[in-house]
Amino acid sequence: MTYWFTSDLHLGHENVALTHRGARSVEQHDQAIVSNLLRCLQSGDDLYILGDLSLGRKRDVDHAVTLLEPVSRRVGYRHMHLVRGNHDPKARWATLRLAEVFSTITDTMVLQVADMPPLILSHYPSRQVANTVAHTGVPAGCSSNAFDPKVLYGNSLTRDETHVLLYGHTHDQTPTRPEWGRFDATSE
């Protein structure tokens, strides 16, 4: 079994697909993501999506669930996990629909993998990262509003030196920043 982590799929999200990721169409963008998942994943692998599955409207959630049905069949329902992000609705209708392909739907999660330090899974970067960016500026390659205090307020976590934080949200094209001690799982 392999553990896979990604975030910010933004399935069906025209602005992300065409403007930020350079796809020719939303359909091409979505198909590339699903094809890549199916190419990498094997039966019994665990897939953790760290938020922003879609834009979050009902039609977007329906679209994302439909696209992820073959992925869920590939790995097995109990191996699909969603850590919600700012575009993932918490309404009952959304949770029920998402539960058709995800066995776990939560806001944060702690995962223990073998002899590794515990992994904290969140859509959002830590407060320490946000504070660093507030003083140094948004790094090149990150979404310009990735560290907006209105979005992060109440969502970002305090850094814990004994855990490794995996997060998304920033659309950072440099996913590993050792100086931050954290790893961005954004699908960019």
Q: How many CA atoms lie within 13 Å of 60's alpha carbon, on the beta-carbon side? A: 16
- Whichever domain contains 47, its CATH number is 3.60.21.10
Q: CA separation (Å) from 135 to 104, 138, 146, 180?
A: 36, 9, 14, 14
Q: CA separation (Å) from 17 to 12, 14, 32, 188?
A: 8, 5, 11, 11
Total domains, the chain = 1
Report whether pLDDT(179) > 90. no
The range of the structural domain enclosing residue 134 comes to 3-184
Report whether pLDDT(135) > 80. no
Report whether pLDDT(69) > 70. yes
Unique residue bearing structure tokens 């950072």: 172
Report whether pLDDT(14) > 60. yes
